[in-house]
């Protein structure tokens, strides 16, 4: 069976791509953010995952306001980056893992999650930036399975539903008939709001409590409704649902013990609270 080795998390602000392209990693504005990644890169170099299951939110590339699935799973042989023009000009396609994709899809449907299956899927900065942050040199060395979660248009999935979906994905990974090592990734910002009366809103205290809960109390955030999360984290802060799905995957198979390998929290980058995290399965 496949081995689920751990979970990663990072923010995915489009301007990060521009900073990478311009070589601004040591610029005083960017350095506190980029300083969080060498320990993650070292962990990945040691553990050498073969596949990355990536929880992210689409920004109007595949799905727009007229068609917005709650959960969508990629089942493509490769995923082309269609950057919105903010960041890295060219990136080669990311290779998919069709066998794991279909195993996850079949498992989710069996467990009564109504999902959209995407045999063609473009990816934006929410997928490309984490992969470039984790593997800054050369092509991405892992195959990927992208899983999109709606955080754009109401109705949004309840935190408890997202956690349960992540748990089902983790069970699928661990029942996959393969000798490969798999990691799960959460791509999304923590508290931030980009528009409206609360534009610029950041809730550091909630962010830090949420990050702590991912290690010690994984279901803590499921006590809140979606509207409560929006109130506490901002309109776009509900992207933390990706982090909850990642943690759910690590809690699959009756186990929930993880070890925090490294983490980083920094505010603000582009009016957004940013974080990076590695949780290793105990």
User: What is the model's pLDDT at position 85?
Assistant: 61
Q: Is 68 helix (H, G, I), strand (E, B) or coil?
A: coil
**Residues labelled catalytic:** 125, 192
Q: CATH number of the domain at 3-281, please?
A: 3.40.830.10
Q: Distance between CA 162 and CA 68 in Å, rounded?
A: 16
Q: How does pLDDT run along the chain (282 residues), one tens digit per residue? A: 999 999 999 998 888 988 998 999 999 999 999 999 999 999 999 999 999 999 999 877 888 888 899 999 999 999 998 866 666 767 889 999 999 999 999 999 999 999 999 999 989 888 999 999 999 988 899 999 999 999 988 999 999 999 999 999 999 999 999 999 999 999 998 987 877 787 778 899 999 999 999 999 999 999 999 999 999 988 886 889 999 999 999 998 655 689 999 999 999 888 888 999 999 998
Alpha helix (H) residue ranges in the chain: 14-22, 31-34, 38-47, 98-110, 125-134, 159-175, 204-216, 226-233, 240-250
Q: Distance between CA 239 and CA 121 in Å, rounded?
A: 20
Query: On the CB side of 19, how many CA atoms lie within 13 Å of its CA?
Result: 23
Element (H, E) at 201: none
Q: Record the pTM.
A: 0.94
């Amino acid at each position: 069976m496949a081995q689920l080795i751990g979970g990663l998390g990072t923010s995915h602000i489009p301007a990060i791509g521009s900073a990478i392209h311009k070589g601004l990693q040591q610029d005083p504005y960017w350095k506190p953010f980029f300083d969080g990644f060498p320990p993650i890169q070292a962990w990945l170099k040691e553990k050498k995952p073969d596949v990355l299951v990536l929880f992210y939110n689409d920004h109007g590339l595949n799905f727009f306001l007229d068609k917005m699935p709650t959960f969508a799973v990629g089942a493509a042989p490769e995923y082309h980056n269609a950057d919105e023009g903010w960041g890295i000009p060219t990136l080669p396609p990311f290779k998919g893992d069709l066998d794991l994709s279909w195993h996850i899809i079949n498992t989710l449907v069996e467990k009564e999650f109504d999902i959209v299956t995407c045999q063609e899927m473009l990816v934006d900065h929410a997928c490309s930036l984490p992969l470039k942050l984790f593997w800054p040199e050369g092509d991405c060395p892992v195959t990927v399975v992208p899983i999109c979660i709606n955080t754009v248009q109401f109705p949004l999935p309840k935190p408890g539903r997202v956690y349960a979906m992540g748990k089902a994905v983790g069970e699928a990974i661990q029942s996959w008939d393969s000798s490969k090592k798999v990691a799960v990734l959460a791509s999304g910002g923590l508290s931030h709001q980009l528009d409206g009366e609360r534009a610029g809103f950041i809730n550091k205290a909630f962010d830090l409590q949420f990050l702590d809960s991912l290690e010690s109390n994984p279901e803590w955030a499921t006590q809140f409704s979606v509207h409560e999360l929006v109130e506490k984290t901002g309109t776009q802060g509900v992207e933390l649902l990706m982090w909850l799905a990642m943690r759910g995957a690590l809690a699959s198979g009756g186990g929930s013990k993880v070890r925090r390998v490294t983490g980083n929290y920094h505010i603000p980058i582009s009016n957004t609270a940013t974080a990076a995290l590695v949780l290793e399965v105990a």
